[in-house]
Amino acid sequence: MSDPNLLTSDVEEALRAGVRDLLADKADADAVLGRVESSSPLDMDLWRTLVDLGATSLPIPESLGGQGAGWREAAVVAEEVGRAVAPVPFLGSTLATAALLHLSDDTDAQEALKSMASGESVVVLAIPLSGPVDGPLARTVRSVADAGVATRFLVPADGGLHLVEAASVEPVVSLDLTRPVWDVTFADSGVRLTGSGESAVDSALLAGSAMLAAEQVGIAEWCLTTTVAYLKQRYQFGRPVGSFQALKHRLADLWQSIVLARAAALNAADALATSSADTRVAVAVAQSLCSTVAVRAAEECVQLHGGIGMTWEHPAHLYLKRAKADELALGTPGKHRATLASLVNLPG
């Protein structure tokens, strides 16, 4: 078994720079705040630009119209999406991509992947944001992320995975305004894809959790960078607030936590990309760590910005809400720690 590669390549850094520049231009703080206040909370023009860039189809093979890259590259995009809290259907699409890749011998799954890679359609895995619910095909699935812009859904039921069109979607009040959720109602069972739906959903949850960890690193790094910059320019008692030792220690501790979180997230993405036997352990470690680090970084960002951090006009609240929502998405940190304990034969 090879050691994990925790260093990013020149190609990955070039991808990061390209996506970061695009999001800085199209999804700055004012644009995101304006978007969440509108009747169309997800920015589909930005999503189409990401599709054209190839940033949404990185794990999809070239034979199916994708980039033929892997989950490490997808994690780079996820991190930058988190850094900008970009209002795009990245998570829902990522979950669907991973599930369809698991069933890629099925011709309907192949066609769905092709349409996703080209931007012709947006396919979303129809599970609650908090995680899947076992049982027969449900007529309504509640709190599905990115469902409002989906053209088709993958619905897990009765051990299979069904490709279905929605009869209706109803928006639900969400904590995270940049990743809204909808209740989805289906009129029929659609097309059942060949293969194990349970295994496909399991693959989707592993990939989605790894991408969430990368996103949480992006959230945390934005919060730290923005807070440090603010404390350097905010003066109190004739000196920068950031020069006070107590605040220096808090930020140094936060930086150390983010470094550890970045290593864990990259390890999870690398394990996923290389199909490592330790993938489940790596993802559980990453999610249990990155979730808490992102929330802590966002809380520090709001508090250390003082009064301005509490205002609607400052984007800090968007990062806190995304961090809190991500903490609950696809399983809580406690659930991931319990999974880790079971995998390494420790008491839960």
- Residue-level pLDDT at 219: 98
Name the CATH code of domain 199-343 (choices 1.20.140.10, 1.10.510.10, 1.20.1600.10, 3.40.50.720): 1.20.140.10
Burial of 21 (0-12, 13-18, 19+ CB in 10 A): exposed
- Give me the pLDDT at residue 305, please: 92
pTM of the model: 0.94
Is it the case that residue 1 has pLDDT exceeding 60? Answer: no
The pLDDT, as a whole number, for residue 315 is: 95
The domain limits of the chain are: 199-343
Residue whose token pair is 């969440």: 36
How does residue 138 score in pLDDT terms, banded at 50, 70 and 90? Answer: low
User: Angle at the Cα of 86 (from 84 to 89), degrees rounded to 5?
Assistant: 150
Confidence (pLDDT) at 28: 94
Kindly tell me if the per-residue pLDDT of 74 is higher than 70. Answer: yes
Tell me the pLDDT tens digit for each residue of 163-217.
998 889 999 999 999 999 999 998 877 888 888 888 999 999 999 999 999 999 9
pLDDT surpassing 60 at residue 86:
yes
Taking only the tens place, the pLDDT of each residue in 304-320 is 998 888 899 999 999 99
pLDDT at 158: 80
Q: What is the mean pLDDT of the chain?
A: 92
* Nearest C-alpha neighbor of 272 from the set 7, 71, 12, 92: 71
Cα 230 to Cα 222: distance, rounded to the nearest angstrom: 12
Sorting pLDDT into bands at 50, 70 and 90, what band is 99? very high
Is the predicted pLDDT of residue 93 greater than 60, yes or no? yes
